[in-house]
Structure 1
Amino acid sequence: MNGKMKALVKHHRGFGARLQEVDIPQIKEDEVLIKVKATSICGTDVHIYTWDEWSQSRVHPPYVFGHEFSGEVVETGARVKEIKPGDLVSAETHIVCGTCQQCLTGQSHICKNTQIIGVDTQGCFAEYVALPAENIWKNPKDMPFDVASVQEPMGNAVHTVLAGDVAGKTVAVIGCGPIGIMAAGVAKAAGAARVIALDLNDYRLGLAAKMGADHLINSSKEDPLEVVDKLTGGNGVDVVCEMSGHPIAMNQGFKMVTNGGRVSILSLPVKPVEIDITNDVVFKGITVQGITGRLMFKTWQQVSNLLASGRVDVKPMITHHFPLEDFEKGFDLMIKGECGKVVLHP
């Protein structure tokens, strides 16, 4: 397909982005072209938009960013067999090499040569996006486009929560951005006996409650360690899902987890974090996990099944819709924390 399209471009090495007209991407033999119907703003996109230290060292403007989306396939490459025009799809956003040690041993989610859509390659904040066919995930025809667009971040929540057993356990979700909010819902669906959500933002704590959190802790108003101690009878929580990336919150997570418990970390601190390894890790005998992306494609299957079953309903977490032209409104809400997930429509 030839022609021009509107796209949100990270146009310079500084704050903000710009809506521009760019060429519709041309697909290779193993790629598909997708008409984007809905694309949601991720915390990573906010890092890029605000031009923080991480983005300054990682991305190279000008380029189209964004990586969470759903849409309809409109064109396929000559070597593509399983995907057809008209298919409704989303995409695994990690493009992997398939040849490194990790890929060859079934661990492609930690491929040493991973490229992330909208970070290392052209993204989906646009009318069209071109992607490798092997990254495509087919969606049910009755799945709303906005729900379909948040499957990728929901996969982060599912991978973090289900990296170990949570059934009958107490789970603390630290950081109630959209992924943390979904993690609360996933933990309840997976049989957690109690889900404790922690954040500094009452609005987002309220969304976590709608998703299934049993106890809410605003860490700016009360001591989270004291509250958790009371809630657990002095035992601490069994599982910590760390989504905040804040050094103080991360330390609190390690201190509130019980001996033999698990701390799974999805957050991306912008600077090194100092942890008391001796007392909070070694002597406690805890398991610490770094969580990146989704298991390809095990997590996608789990996400799809949880949504189809109704065990997890992400609609309370999707709070705002804007046309792509109003992207500044969406990013402003994300920066201020006055939203759940913001969906843009090209």
Structure 2
Amino acid sequence: MKALVKPGPEPGLELRDVPRPEVGANDVLIAVSHAAICGTDLHIHDWDAWASANVAAPVVVGHEFVGTVAEVGDQVTNVEVGSRVAGEGHIVCGRCRNCRAGHRHLCRSTVGVGIHRDGGFAEFVSIPATNVYPVPDSVPDEIAAILDPLGNAVHTVLSFDVVGEDVLITGAGPIGQMAAAICRHAGARHVVITDLVPARLAIAEQMGASRAVRADQETLEDVMAEMGMDEGFDVALEMSGSGRALADILRVTTHGAHVGLLGLFAGPAEVNVNEAILKGLQIKGIYGREMFDTWYKAVSMLDSGLSIAPVISHRFVLDDFQTAFDALHAGEATKVVLDIA
């Protein structure tokens, strides 16, 4: 089958003909129709420090995908051939304390699809049946292909009560853009988002942000005064991986505010921790999705009118993968969906 492979410890990806995945007794084989490129895939493509420390090359990359069930293992009873499904990209052990307590998203032995085992930038991918999520007819293929990153945004936003609150989002990448839409859908008052790229900020405004801020041209204090905010932000969501953005959050949040950290930092971030202590901030690190409560909530919000379509800027066939990655590297694209079928 055709698949996009990280062949070894060096930059770049290769389109190769590889064997079709084996299907274990508890596995499901999915014929992939669409897949989306994630920031993680960019790290793997570039083979940066994170990738070299975490990726088990050679490996078929890709963990955001949708497709049709082609085959099920002989112990699988809850998934039918022909079903349209997406896949949770975190495969957990099921035995550790968190897994047994129902907190599978905190499994200390998580295996990443497309990182530690073969993923979805391929004609077929095999995952455990417990990681399969049925996609309702109301969700189009392109949106189903990005349920994984939508889940990251849903998990982050809904970790806190945002109804009637003033929310700051630092980082207007695809997940930040979707977070803005979710905050608006969930009933936040003001949703302010920061970034350095005007095109990203424009999409965020289109998706529901009250105010989009060029972090290198405006101060958040000025924006707060403009919007009549006297006490600071009630909720802050860090999605940029920028130390400066985190410092902004600690400075402009109100006392007792909730802070969600989703963006990964390239290195240590130097911040004034005393601000967090003296303000009594409640800080939560967020990784992935709550399995599967986040998935249910994401699909329910889509069914109740949440629109995330503007986040998809480009579409390519798998053979044109390098053009897709180049567009992302150049900042021309936000979210790219690949046609696999």
Deviation at 1:302?
0.2
Which residue of 2 is the match for residue 288 of structure 1?
A: 283
Quick check: 1:33–1:131 contact (8 Å CA) kept in 2?
yes
Matches of 1:231 and 1:13, distance apart in 2: 49
Quick check: 1:204–1:339 contact (8 Å CA) kept in 2?
no
Matches of 2:192 and 2:327, distance apart in 1: 25
Give the letter aligned to residue 331 of structure 1.
Answer: F
Which residue of 1 is the match for residue 77 of structure 2?
A: 81
Quick check: 1:181–1:208 contact (8 Å CA) kept in 2?
yes
Which residue of 2 is the match for residue 337 of structure 1?
A: 331
Pick the aligned partner of 2:227 from 225, 231, 243: 231
Matches of 2:226 and 2:304, distance apart in 1: 34
1:113-172 per-residue CA deviation (whole Å, 9 max, x = no partner) reads 111111111111111100000000000134211110111100000010010100000111
Which residue of 2 is the match for residue 188 of structure 1?
A: 184
Please state if 1:316 is matched with 2:310: yes
Please state if 1:328 is matched with 2:313: no
Quick check: 1:172–1:240 contact (8 Å CA) kept in 2?
yes
Match runs of 1:12-31 below 5 Å: 12-31=8-27
Matches of 1:90 and 1:276, distance apart in 2: 41
Which residue of 2 is the match for residue 300 of structure 1?
A: 295
1:278-336 per-residue CA deviation (whole Å, 9 max, x = no partner) reads 1x2110011000001111110000001011111x1111111111000111121112222
Deviation at 1:100?
0.3
Matches of 2:223 and 2:49, distance apart in 1: 34
Give the letter aligned to residue 228 of structure 1.
Answer: M
Aligned residue for 1:83, secondary structure, equals coil
Pick the aligned partner of 1:218 from 211, 214, 217: 214
Quick check: 1:229–1:235 contact (8 Å CA) kept in 2?
no
Between stretches 159-168 and 141-150, larger displacement belongs to 141-150
Matches of 2:47 and 2:226, distance apart in 1: 40
Matches of 1:98 and 1:109, distance apart in 2: 11
Q: TM-score, normalised by structure 2?
A: 0.97
Give the letter aligned to residue 256 of structure 2.
Answer: G
Quick check: 1:69–1:124 contact (8 Å CA) kept in 2?
yes
Matches of 2:323 and 2:230, distance apart in 1: 44
Matches of 1:183 and 1:143, distance apart in 2: 18
Judging changes above 3 Å, is the alpha-carbon distance between structure 1 residues 42 and 232 closer, same or farther for their aligned structure 2 residues?
Answer: farther
Quick check: 2:139–2:302 contact (8 Å CA) kept in 1?
no
Q: Percent identity?
A: 41
Matches of 1:105 and 1:336, distance apart in 2: 44
Judging changes above 3 Å, is the alpha-carbon distance between structure 1 residues 142 and 192 closer, same or farther for their aligned structure 2 residues?
Answer: closer
RMSD: 1.1
Which residue of 1 is the match for residue 169 of structure 2?
A: 173
Give the letter aligned to residue 287 of structure 1.
Answer: Q
Matches of 2:90 and 2:164, distance apart in 1: 33
Deviation at 1:276?
1.1
Matches of 1:97 and 1:79, distance apart in 2: 18
1:241-289 per-residue CA deviation (whole Å, 9 max, x = no partner) reads 10000111111112111111011000110211122111x2110011000
Aligned residue for 1:35, secondary structure, equals strand
Deviation at 1:225?
4.0
1:31-87 per-residue CA deviation (whole Å, 9 max, x = no partner) reads 010000100001111111111111111112111011000000010000000101110
Give the letter aligned to residue 318 of structure 1.
Answer: I
Judging changes above 3 Å, is the alpha-carbon distance between structure 1 residues 271 and 225 closer, same or farther for their aligned structure 2 residues?
Answer: farther
Aligned residue for 1:79, secondary structure, equals coil
Match runs of 1:67-146 below 5 Å: 67-146=63-142
Please state if 1:44 is matched with 2:40: yes
Give the letter aligned to residue 293 of structure 1.
Answer: G
Matches of 1:249 and 1:222, distance apart in 2: 13
Matches of 2:203 and 2:325, distance apart in 1: 19
Q: TM-score, normalised by structure 1?
A: 0.96
Matches of 1:236 and 1:26, distance apart in 2: 54
Quick check: 1:66–1:123 contact (8 Å CA) kept in 2?
yes
> Which consecutive segments of 4 or more residues in structure 1 shift more than 4 A?
none
Please state if 1:151 is matched with 2:185: no
Give the letter aligned to residue 254 of structure 1.
Answer: L
Give the letter aligned to residue 286 of structure 2.
Answer: I
